Amino acid sequence: MKTIFAFRWQPSKDLLAIVVSWVLVVTALYAATFLVGSEVAGGMAYFGLYAVLGATIFGIGIPLYWTVVVRKRPVSDLGLTRERLALSVILQLAFTTLQFIGAYRDLKIPAWDRLLPLVALALAIGFFEAIFWRGWVLLRLEECFGLIPAIAIGSILYSLYHIGYGMPASEMFFLFFIGVMYAVAFRLTKSVFMLWPVFQPMGQLVTLIKDGLSLPLLASLGFIEVLALMWVLIWLANKYDKKQRRVQNS
């Protein structure tokens, strides 16, 4: 209980890294949405800015580089850990079931050729959001200010991130509480596997279906490749960390 309600004032250089990465992610999304659009180069320009540059390079690459190379800490500090994996998966499935029963049971599922690209998108972007917003932003803010301020500030940043989608203030207000929900769930085990690959992606998938987003079937391959690239970056960062630790211990 003391940990939950503890407040602290220990700002560090991590805050600057958070701000820079947040600005870059939002800028990439905004540029993809409003400056490029989905029609240029058959949508490839939008995909490159949004999924590759914004989500993968800025959203995954910067946190990994800062954590492992600059701060010399393991990737587990971003919630990428096998600790409490079984508990995380069990709780994730339980929350997903409650979420589905409570809000999505009347959802009309589209045909598979429309559904598959949306599932791939939700898995890739859901993975980015679990790491960036919870493993990166939330945990760094908690180290600086305590858990409750971290949840509040992180959820504000999460809602403001959707400026890049052109969302109105009313929707961003709602997204603040969505951010709180995911932050609290993540913090139960400090593992991204509390949110991914089902709980958070399902919420995104339902939103995409309700919004009527339609993507070509080929887009599935693009988002699967992006997800694979994210895992490659994580593998490289983990390999680098283990190598550096072997050198230090030799």
pLDDT for 79: 98
Q: How many CA atoms lie within 13 A of 92 on its CB side?
A: 25
Q: Is 235 exposed, middle or buried (0-12, 13-18, 19+ CB in 10 A)?
A: exposed
pLDDT for 201: 96
Buried b (16+ CB within 10 A) or exposed e, 182-199: bbebbbebbbbbbbbbbb
> CB–CB of 154/137 below 8 Å?
yes
Mean pLDDT (whole number) for 226-232: 98
| Tens-digit pLDDT profile for residues 93-113 | 999 998 878 767 778 889 999
pLDDT for 240: 97
Mean pLDDT (whole number) for 164-191: 94
pLDDT for 40: 79
pLDDT at 190 over 70: yes
pLDDT at 2 over 90: no
| Tens-digit pLDDT profile for residues 13-29 | 999 999 999 999 999 99
Q: How many CA atoms lie within 13 A of 11 on its CB side?
A: 5
The answer, as to whether pTM is greater than 0.85, is: yes
pLDDT for 250: 75
| Tens-digit pLDDT profile for residues 146-174 | 999 999 999 999 999 999 988 888 889 99
Q: Please state, rounded to an integer, the average pLDDT across all residues of the chain.
A: 93
Mean pLDDT (whole number) for 77-99: 94
pLDDT at 41 over 90: no
